[in-house]
Homo-oligomer: A and B are copies of this chain.
């Protein structure tokens, strides 16, 4: 028999990893709930027609398609048609419902839009939902990039108010505060400001090209960006104007004041500035003064995805070398894809895998997450086993996670198990202990062993 394995780009999560992930997801869940957001879960599979054409050509290619079942049971007459459909697949056209009509979810945004449209009459708008589920992409696996990974999204749909933007900024800050992640910078910008920038640079129709070049600023430096801008037909004078804006320093208020002067000739640019002004004002009113993270207006922030139309946001952690650990923005007509026009949405996303890596690298996971059980009762068989079982029941009744070694195996084997599991305590219920109705409690960290009553034992474990 060949050695079993798992598909490339997928992962088993061991108990320790599941607990750490639960800690992150549970923290986020509690913040979302505190902010009045509601949980949603959608199926892993969507109809292929729901997904195709929503993520660009590259996205279409990376969607995992599910083979229809029962094809072999078709009548012979149908088989010729199925063979034709198969040829279509081979020619890169996936619009072949005979071969595949379902696919695995590619992100959480399109399923959310689909849900909103399907349930528009039941939903109380503005609808504030969060969603934490896996998504699948047939990308080439590499370090930190998986074919199955979790997304964690938080969106408001059906409200134009910039209070929502401020709420989402506070959610980011509250979450990273609670997770104790240091040096968090939340960069914000508006697509409208970028459009204004394109206008004053003299290339109003090339906002996307300009932002694609700007997006590379960190990697290729300003000289590289100027070169790219020039290749895209932006004049040296225009590039200089862009540079002046991008180079602005100072506090958010100072940047906004300077921008107001520079952007005067662009109506859309001024609208972007007004947005940032209001968002920072609302955020100021809503934020906890003790939070350690910062919110920074960053005019070079672009975010790749096309569908953002206003506010955009990205989260960086200065304490580790890593890309953004969260991002999002406002999209004006997402549900329009499914025929429901005029609903504006704004949302943020948490990069769960990267956040996990940050917390791991900075050693910020709470200690108690690791083992689960607090104590193992050794099993000495016979009457001692009976005694141990009654103790076990009482420990659990006191709320202590506890287990018994199920077999009366050799002492060494049982101790080795406790050690491998990393359990903090072991109870040794032998003849002496049973006859005196006491327990020997061994602290696995200090090595100390003491004889105590059950009550004392419970206290010691609970206060450890």
Residues of A in contact with B (beta carbons under 8 Å apart): 1-7, 10-15, 18-19, 22, 33-47, 49-50, 61-62, 64-67, 69-72, 74, 79, 82-83, 86, 89-92, 99-102, 104, 114-115, 117-119, 122, 124-126, 128-129, 134, 136, 138, 147-148, 156, 159-161, 163-164, 166-167, 282, 285-288, 338-339, 372-373, 376, 379, 385-386, 389-390, 392-393, 396-397, 399-407, 417, 420-421
Contact = CB atoms under 8 A, between A and B. Distances in A.
A151 to B, nearest CB: 14
Which of A65, A67, A407 gathers most chain B CB within 10 Å?
A67
A33 B372 contact: yes
A141 to B, nearest CB: 12
Question: DSSP class of A's interface residues: helix, strand, loop or mixed?
Answer: mixed
A406 B159 contact: yes
Contact of A12 (B43, B89, B128): B43
Contacts of A399: 34
Given A164-B406, A389-B163, A390-B285, A372 B37 contact: yes
B286 A393 contact: yes
B164 A36 contact: no
Contacts of A67: 64-67, 89, 99-100
Contacts of A1: 338-339
B90 A79 contact: yes
A456 to B, nearest CB: 21
- In the complex, the 9 A-B pairs of residues with the closest C-beta atoms, listed nearest first: A36-B403, A10-B43, A15-B38, A161-B406, A124-B420, A36-B373, A69-B138, A72-B92, A18-B39
Given A5-B118, A10-B43, A285 B386 contact: yes
A38 to B, nearest CB: 4
B401 A34 contact: yes
B69 A62 contact: yes
A91 B72 contact: yes
Contacts of A134: 44
Contacts of A117: 4
Nearest to A283: B389
A408 to B, nearest CB: 8
